Amino acid sequence: MKLFSCLMALLLFILQAVPGLSMAKDTLRCVGYHGFCFHSKSCPEPFAAFGTCSRRQKTCCIDTTSNFHTCQDEGGHCVPPEIKCLQEQVGLCPHREWKCCTEV
């Protein structure tokens, strides 16, 4: 199980290191503008709709009130909840449940 977690972390790192490897064009555009993809058609407060994500299946939402920093801007990596972080960091990830880690 530990080996599987390490392999998943490595795969995730590779996917993040190579831009555009697994993301749709509209998702790349959204993330490029520090947006987040939500399943709902409307964005929660304080976000505003900024287009689509996941080949028009999700809504791209942009924060309108704060000067937030994404996880990658802060030097971290976004990982799914099943991967444990050695050290968590402040920063927003494009997926709601994911967390920002400096070391996995």
Residue 63, class by beta-carbon neighbours within 10 Å (0-12 exposed, 13-18 middle, 19+ buried)? middle
In 3D space, the residue among 83, 5, 45 whose CA is nearest the CA of residue 98 turns out to be 83
Tallying the residues shown for the chain, one arrives at 104
Cα–Cα dist 84/66, whole Å: 28
Domains of the chain: 24-67 (3.10.360), 69-103 (2.20.20)
Q: Residue-wise pLDDT tens for the chain (104 aa)?
A: 555 454 555 554 555 555 545 678 888 878 877 788 888 888 888 887 878 888 889 998 887 776 666 777 778 888 888 988 888 887 777 666 788 888 76
pLDDT of residue 2: 58
pLDDT of residue 6: 47
pLDDT of residue 78: 85
